[in-house]
Chains A and B, each alone.
Chain A
Amino acid sequence: MLRQITVPIIAILVFLGFWEWLVWVNGWPNFKMASPSDLPPAYSRYWELFLTMGWQTLWRTVVGLLLAVVVGTLIGMIIGFSRLMRDALYPLLVGFNAIPKATLVPVISLIFIGQHDFNTVLMAFMISFFPIAVSVGIGLSTLEPEYRDILRSLGASKYTIFTKIALPKTLPEFFGALKVSVTLAFIGTNLVEIVSPHGRGLGALFKSGETNGDYPLMFAVLIALAVLGIVLYYAVVFLEKIFAGWAEREGS
């Protein structure tokens, strides 16, 4: 337990030290590359902004992610249980996923003009549901028939089979996908926050730093984003331990 906490902290400190040293050795000015020692002043000057903007980014990412979980699981169930729907939907899903999401920002901001919160959540959702849908779909469609038959032969309903067997059996794949989706959802949220005029959230704060030539602020935002990303990621890891801890192999 102690090791699990101290080792990452030491790694982060080493990283910050290396960064500071790199800037110092090269004599980079602030407008080229800020150093860690420039960050505390930036945080203490704008801490209120960081809190409100950080919250904006966090809740929109989480809501987008929740949407992605619900819709992704539903799509996964559809393509997992029906061969026909799998054949029908797969190419569409892959095609949609292949579209660079940056190109969709102007599209959705034209459809839903001024709905900044909505657009941000929508983008976080669109960018992150695909891994969930695919993993749930594959998990369900590769369920060995015997697993179904032990309950089906007792007259259990499809719903019972889903909740007692298919769903728990898919959980490890689901959480694997969710870890990918967390990061993607962050990218989606920030994309909209940065690109939209009059945006909010950490992305907008980053852009205002850029507009004002406040480089330490920009780097401070990047670090704040990284921290939020780590928090969300480990929240997922925590849930995974609770709900799919059985899938972990001993001694690894």
Chain B
Amino acid sequence: MEFQSPVLVITTIKSGRAEALTALLRELNHALWEQDVNPFGDFNLQHFARWVVINDQLIFAAAVDGSAEDYLQQLARNCLELLTPIYEHCENFPESGSSSTESVTNYLITHQEQTHMFYHGLRNRRVADIQLESQIHRSIEVFLDGNQDSNSFRANNPTTIVETIKAHLKGTGIDYDSDDPHFHSRLPPSIKAAAWWRWPALIGIVLGAVLLVPLVAYKEWRERREPSEQNPFIADSQPSELDFEEIQAIQSPMTSIVTIKPGWFRGITLRLVLWAIQMLADHYYNKGRLGSIGSIHFARWAIINNGRHLLFLSNYDGSWESYLGDFIDRAAHGLTGVWGNAVGFPPSKFLLWGGASHAADFKAYAKRSQVATHFWYSAYPQLSMPNKLNNRSIRAFLIDSKKSSAKHWLRRF
């Protein structure tokens, strides 16, 4: 079983209703961020969630605990009042009055779409774990604030300081040291079980690439002589609206959609590259970093609309400028491998070169491909990825002090 799964539900909006639906989502978003009204209430299986209207489609995407089906079932059970007014704008949604938990669950499940590549920054933490660990961290910080200026306290040896901290935590009633079976394994069993074939798989990737690259190079050469098309999705999102999305600065969403170059060839290349990246993410980059990028909570690519469009969704820390800068500085090959298959991308060479490493062109392309995220939810908007990882290590030591030394652990504050 996976600890976390990507949920992707795409439905068609009834004609003439897109505007009203967009307005409703914006309203929910405003209430959430400005007035602290959480539309999910106590239901907290989603780390991140978003609803986006793109032309006549409504996209619901979430990174959730457990499996996607379970999640959708629970969502329908717990949040019917949230879902109904949203999905009433969509085709084939059960008529009002007849919508029940089952029919809504069914509706959502049947409109699910595949996610082709899913990256999770911190794999084995449920929302509840992350929130608990944040609470433990904050409680210790406050305790240390109270004692930091006392010379006699500071003169204690680290082990004694740790014992006092534990005594303090005990006093607060926070459940800081009960063990949790998920804790010790970084990876879900399915991936662990598959670990033996990662070397053959890697060799496969290399061989595949050797065969693929000349073909791609040929295509690139052909395409360079064709005029590149514009992205048709820039539709209604004003640049300034997008700018506002990233001023939150701690975390931001990015929603991007591009058209895949026509023909079977690009479709196959794209799927192979996404599969290869998924392999790398599962088996190598599973410690909170994608390559050397440590600022991504969750991200995904999905090929949608019968292979015509490529959707990219991400929840990242910091500013747009720093996120895109990280892409260019640290992940240009991977991105070129993926987006090079899309219309209008800066020209690539041999599949993985060029493209995203053209800094200015790539940023312009990313801006053009971005659409507004009308509703966006985060279960822990005050935590960055490094915070989550640090909090996890703090708790790991409290459960099992063999994990670190008291001296080093104290530097985590």
Report if A and B associate in a common complex.
no
Residues of A participating in the B interface, judged by any CB pair closer than 8 Å: none
